[in-house]
């Protein structure tokens, strides 16, 4: 009987050991599962942290060897936000203007970190007879896209000066032009001014077609300290891969630190990544101008975002909502992942 008990104990012990081994193997297999992360980014130098994170392999390092990264480059924030809402991309960089407008329609993605603040300037045509913001009455001002962060800033700037946006020359007329097209339009004097992200403004000044009317650190809201580029993630990605989303935040922070500590080296890397995304690089001097005119930061403030949402609502870009009180951005920013990353340092 005693012998039988001993044999039974040994058998149970071996069964437990095999079961534990099987459990560990399953866990390892799970952690070794292949995953594809779809990253979206705009073909704009103000997305520099994203460029560096891709070029230096920070995303790959944080996601791990079993992750495959697919990058989609967008021409504007509206297309990016639509792609994010429809799960064509998982994570990426965009301006808050179009992201807010899309979020209030779909509510299925979140801001998880900042990337940079500021970075846009108001340029007046050299011979347009514009010496102050008030001189914009009766003039045509270009912005990259409808509802863009740049348009929100322009509308705030005009409000500060008591000016109205109109469809005729009784006020300020706002039109949309891609930055490259705006450069040509300014040369040909088809538009009078533009609120545009760097380095396009610097390029206009250097070639003599424009002059700075309002510098980047005086652009509203918050005198240039407003989010121009933010890091977004879809709810689906956050639910299934919260660890990878935290990895993206870490990669973003690593890229910001690298640019701050190695600005000269960053110019070439940014140009190379821009060439890969758009087919054309950029002169280091222009990249420097862009980086000098923005504040790289992973932090983001809800009150500034809410100010921008207010302008979007008044401009009619927020559809399907009749009362501004229905504009709820309380869940638009999920700072929990960024907080966890900071605590882990």
Nearest to 93 by CA among 116, 69, 70: 116
CA pair distance 125, 325, nearest whole angstrom: 39
Q: Supply the CATH number for residue 52's domain.
A: 3.40.190.10
Domain identity same for 281 and 320: yes
Mind listing the pLDDT tens digit for each residue in 105-120?
899 999 999 999 999 9
Compute the mean pLDDT over every residue in the chain, rounded to the nearest whole number.
88
Domain identity same for 143 and 281: no
| Range list of β-strands (E), 144-284 | 173-176, 193-197, 210-214, 227-234
pTM: 0.83
**Residue-number span of the structural domain to which 141 is assigned:** 120-218
More confident residue, 64 or 28: 64
326 secondary structure, DSSP code: G
DSSP bridge pairs for 206 = none
Domain identity same for 189 and 235: no
Domain identity same for 133 and 97: no
More confident residue, 287 or 6: 287
Among 160, 190, 218, residue at a domain's last position: 218
Half-sphere exposure of 345 (CA within 13 A, CB side): 10
Among 198, 218, 238, residue at a domain's last position: 218
Mind listing the pLDDT tens digit for each residue in 202-252?
999 999 999 999 999 999 999 999 999 999 999 999 999 999 999 999 999
């Amino acid at each position: 009987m005693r012998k039988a008990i001993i044999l039974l104990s040994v058998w149970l012990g071996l069964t437990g050991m095999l079961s534990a081994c099987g459990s560990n193997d399953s866990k390892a297999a799970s952690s070794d599962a292949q995953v594809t992360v779809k990253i979206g980014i705009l073909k704009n130098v103000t997305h520099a942290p994203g460029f560096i994170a891709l070029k230096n392999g920070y995303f790959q390092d944080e996601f791990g060897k079993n992750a495959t990264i697919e990058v989609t480059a967008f021409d504007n924030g509206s297309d990016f936000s639509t792609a994010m809402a429809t799960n064509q991309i998982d994570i990426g960089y965009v301006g808050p203007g179009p992201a807010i407008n899309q979020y209030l329609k779909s509510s299925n993605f979140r801001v998880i970190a900042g990337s940079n603040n500021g970075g846009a300037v108001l340029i007046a045509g050299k011979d347009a007879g514009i010496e102050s913001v008030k001189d914009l009455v009766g003039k045509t001002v270009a912005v990259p896209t409808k509802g863009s962060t740049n348009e929100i800033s322009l509308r705030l700037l005009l409000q500060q000066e008591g000016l109205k946006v109109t469809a005729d020359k009784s006020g300020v007329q706002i039109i949309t032009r891609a930055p490259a097209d705006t450069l040509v339009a300014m040369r040909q004097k088809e538009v009078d001014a533009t609120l545009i992200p760097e380095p396009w403004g610097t390029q206009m000044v250097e070639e003599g077609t424009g002059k700075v009317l309002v510098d980047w650190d005086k652009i509203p809201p918050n005198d240039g300290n407003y989010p121009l580029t933010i890091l977004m993630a879809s709810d689906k990605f956050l639910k299934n891969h919260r660890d990878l989303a935290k990895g993206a935040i870490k990669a973003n922070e690593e890229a910001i630190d690298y640019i701050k500590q190695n600005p000269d080296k960053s110019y070439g890397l940014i140009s190379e990544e821009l060439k890969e995304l758009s087919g054309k690089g950029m002169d280091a001097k222009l990249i420097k101008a862009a980086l000098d005119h923005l504040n790289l930061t992973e932090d983001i403030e809800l009150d500034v975002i809410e100010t921008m949402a207010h302008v979007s609502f008044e401009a009619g870009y927020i559809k399907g909502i009749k009362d501004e009180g229905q504009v709820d951005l309380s869940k638009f920013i999920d700072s929990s992942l960024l907080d966890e990353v900071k605590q882990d340092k």
